[in-house]
């Protein structure tokens, strides 16, 4: 396979398309290493009409497609992506989960300026680790308008034998239906602590579907679902990405148990479950040996009466599953982080010291803090280059926070537990979790909640060293 080549999505699901642009010769500066020859991809961020199946909406997207084009690379190879900004606002591309050169991280105000309207920026970087990643705008709520897409880094020495793979991108959809994500954020910021209805609308209450009326699989609503076509008996790898702004999902595939094999790109010891939760910014890979028929792939929006839905089909004649079907799998064995363990070779050294990061909510209910600080005067964690440090994430607020650290993959750990490697971890209300991080990629890195509303309401700190 060609490293960094952009291709249409594997499998028949709606969504990714619009493959790569012209070669971007001569822009290897910043990658630092001899690149293997690679074809470039052009990401044209622009106002676009996109089809969600039965509806067409006006939004911002990469090219014409939602999700944006699937970008594929090989571990150790170079990705070249030219951002062309045809939006009326500055934008960036962040390569979520990649242990990247900080100058290419797409974190505006940290190591690069956002690309202005009419401008271009050449992202050129090595992808050191195989796995399932994604890219998205890192300016305000732009990600929630549809500026996201999958980034798949193949492992030439892949130990799993499987017959085919499907990429599944989940989203909650607001833009063009009940205002833009920026309108929603403004309403939220203007709300008071007594305005409970609005808050529960926006932040996942039972009427959350009023604000995020649709939940999408690969850009398709449940009434015109994505269809993944395979054959009975095939061993299929699903690469699932949660690109939603505000929705953790509970996922199951009707008639099947699933074997979780990777968390946020990294292999874990495989665990078989009926269902699992996926927070915003998280990725899970799982293997399924498919039976004969047509099966519902359901992602229940946790805390909302809504779901994303797709169909996995292995025979032509089976009836299409009902999108509202109640799956017994959803009540079955649910994966918890404690079930997961890193592969031995991915264990990090034991940390010599620890710091606590308290996740909090101010009484107004629309300011979210890290160690009592907001993004405009952020918490700054200073660490020593080369050290491994334990960060105790202590959620003292009533909401979930999928915390994401740029430029690194940390390890969840407890007493006697070498948990999975991840870059995003969903901390439940009143829960505490340890993450161990090795400071092996110098820079000034964003460390924030991947609930985009929380991120924009202050929950953004930094993790840095030189
Ligand atoms: Cu996917 Cu800082 O984000
Ligand atoms: Cu949060």
What is the rounded average pLDDT of the residues 253-266? 97
* Predicted local confidence at residue 112, as pLDDT: 86
What is the rounded average pLDDT of the residues 226-249? 97
- Confidence class of residue 345 from pLDDT cuts 50, 70 and 90? confident
CA of 451 to the centre of ligand 1 (A): 10
* Predicted local confidence at residue 212, as pLDDT: 62
ipTM over 0.85: yes
pTM of the model: 0.89
The helix or strand, by DSSP H or E, that contains position 251, with its residue range, turns out to be: strand 249-253
Residue 393: beta bridge partners? Answer: 357, 433
CA of 301 to the centre of ligand 2 (A): 16
pLDDT at 166 over 90: yes
- Confidence class of residue 220 from pLDDT cuts 50, 70 and 90? very high
Q: Of residues 97 and 344, which shows the higher confidence score?
A: 97
- Confidence class of residue 193 from pLDDT cuts 50, 70 and 90? low
Cis, peptide link before residue 163, omega less than 30° from 0: no
What is the rounded average pLDDT of the residues 307-311? 97
Q: Whose CA is nearest to atom 1 of ligand 1?
A: 96
* Predicted local confidence at residue 186, as pLDDT: 82
**Token duo for residue 285:** 């890979």
The number of the ligand nearest the C-alpha atom of 401 reads 2
How many CB atoms sit inside 10 A of residue 51's CB?
16
pLDDT at 33 over 70: no
* Predicted local confidence at residue 211, as pLDDT: 59
* Predicted local confidence at residue 215, as pLDDT: 93
pLDDT at 25 over 60: no
Window from 156-170, 213-227, 371-385, 401-415 with minimum mean pLDDT: 156-170
pLDDT at 230 over 90: yes
Report yes or no: 115 and 85 within 8 Å, Cβ to Cβ: yes
Closest CA to 214 of 286, 143, 297, 301: 301
The helix or strand, by DSSP H or E, that contains position 143, with its residue range, turns out to be: helix 142-145
* Predicted local confidence at residue 185, as pLDDT: 83
- Confidence class of residue 262 from pLDDT cuts 50, 70 and 90? very high
Instruction: Check residue 245 and report its DSSP letter.
Output: S
pLDDT at 23 over 50: no
pLDDT at 421 over 90: yes
Window from 66-80, 151-165, 412-426 with minimum mean pLDDT: 151-165
pLDDT at 54 over 70: yes
Nearest ligand 1 atom to alpha carbon 448? 2
CB-based pocket (< 6 A), ligand 1: 94, 96, 136, 138, 281, 404, 406, 446, 448, 450
pLDDT at 198 over 60: no
* Predicted local confidence at residue 366, as pLDDT: 87
* Predicted local confidence at residue 109, as pLDDT: 87
Distance CA 41, CA 70 (A): 10
**Rounded percentage of the chain residues whose pLDDT exceeds 90:** 76
Nearest ligand 1 atom to alpha carbon 424? 1
Window from 13-17, 280-284, 415-419 with minimum mean pLDDT: 13-17
What is the rounded average pLDDT of the residues 83-92? 98
What is the rounded average pLDDT of the residues 209-232? 88
Q: Of residues 11 and 462, which shows the higher confidence score?
A: 462
Q: Whose CA is nearest to atom 3 of ligand 1?
A: 96
Cis, peptide link before residue 181, omega less than 30° from 0: no
Sequence-ordered strand ranges (E) for 282-431: 283-289, 294-301, 307-313, 353-361, 368-370, 380-382, 388-395, 401-405, 410-414, 417-422, 424-427
- Confidence class of residue 239 from pLDDT cuts 50, 70 and 90? very high
pLDDT at 35 over 80: no
| Number of residues that make up the chain | 466
Closest CA to 173 of 114, 234, 215: 215
Closest CA to 447 of 388, 406, 389: 406
Q: How far is CA 175 from the centre of its chain?
A: 18
Distance CA 66, CA 52 (A): 8
Nearest ligand 1 atom to alpha carbon 143? 1
């Amino acid at each position: 396979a060609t490293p960094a080549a952009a291709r249409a999505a594997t499998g028949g699901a709606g969504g990714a398309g619009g493959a790569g642009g012209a070669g971007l010769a001569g822009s290897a500066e910043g990658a630092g290493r001899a690149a293997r020859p690679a074809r470039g991809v052009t990401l044209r961020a622009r106002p676009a009409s996109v089809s969600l199946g039965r509806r067409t909406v006006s939004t911002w997207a990469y090219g014409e497609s939602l999700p944006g084009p699937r970008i594929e690379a090989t571990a150790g190879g170079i990705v070249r992506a030219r951002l062309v900004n045809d939006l009326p606002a500055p934008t960036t591309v962040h390569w979520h989960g990649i242990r990247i050169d900080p100058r290419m991280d797409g974190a505006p105000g940290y190591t690069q300026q956002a690309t202005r309207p009419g401008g271009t920026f050449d992202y050129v970087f090595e992808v050191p680790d195989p796995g399932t990643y994604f890219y998205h705008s890192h300016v305000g709520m732009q990600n929630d308008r549809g500026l996201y897409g999958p980034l798949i880094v193949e492992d030439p020495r892949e130990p799993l034998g499987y017959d085919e793979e499907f990429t599944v991108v989940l989203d909650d959809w607001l833009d063009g239906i009940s205002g833009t994500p920026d309108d929603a954020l403004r309403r939220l910021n203007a709300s008071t602590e007594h305005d409970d209805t609005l808050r529960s609308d926006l932040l996942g209450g039972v009427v959350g579907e009023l604000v995020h009326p649709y939940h999408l699989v690969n850009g398709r609503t449940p009434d015109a679902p994505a269809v993944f076509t395979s054959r009975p008996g095939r061993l299929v790898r699903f690469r699932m990405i949660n690109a939603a702004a505000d929705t953790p999902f509970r996922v199951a595939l009707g008639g099947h148990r699933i074997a979780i094999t990777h968390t946020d790109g990294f292999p874990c010891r495989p665990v078989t479950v009926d269902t699992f939760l996926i927070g915003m910014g998280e990725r899970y890979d799982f293997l399924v040996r498919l039976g004969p028929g047509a099966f519902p792939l359901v992602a229940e929006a946790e805390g909302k009466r809504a779901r994303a839905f797709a169909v996995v089909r292995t025979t032509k004649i089976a009836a299409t599953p009902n999108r509202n079907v109640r799956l017994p799998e959803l009540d079955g064995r649910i994966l918890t982080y404690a079930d997961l363990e890193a592969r031995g070779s991915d264990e990090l050294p034991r940390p010599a010291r620890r710091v606590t990061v308290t996740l909090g909510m101010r009484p107004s209910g629309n300011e979210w803090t890290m160690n009592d600080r907001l993004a405009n005067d952020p918490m700054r964690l200073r660490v020593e280059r080369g050290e491994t440090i334990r960060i105790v994430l202590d959620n003292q607020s009533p909401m979930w926070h999928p915390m994401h650290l740029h430029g690194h993959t940390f390890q969840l750990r407890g007493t006697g537990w070498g948990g999975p490697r991840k870059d995003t971890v969903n901390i439940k209300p009143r829960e505490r979790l340890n993450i161990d991080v090795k400071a092996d990629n110098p820079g000034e890195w964003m460390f924030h909640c991947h609930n985009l509303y929380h991120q924009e309401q202050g929950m953004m700190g930094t993790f840095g060293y030189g």
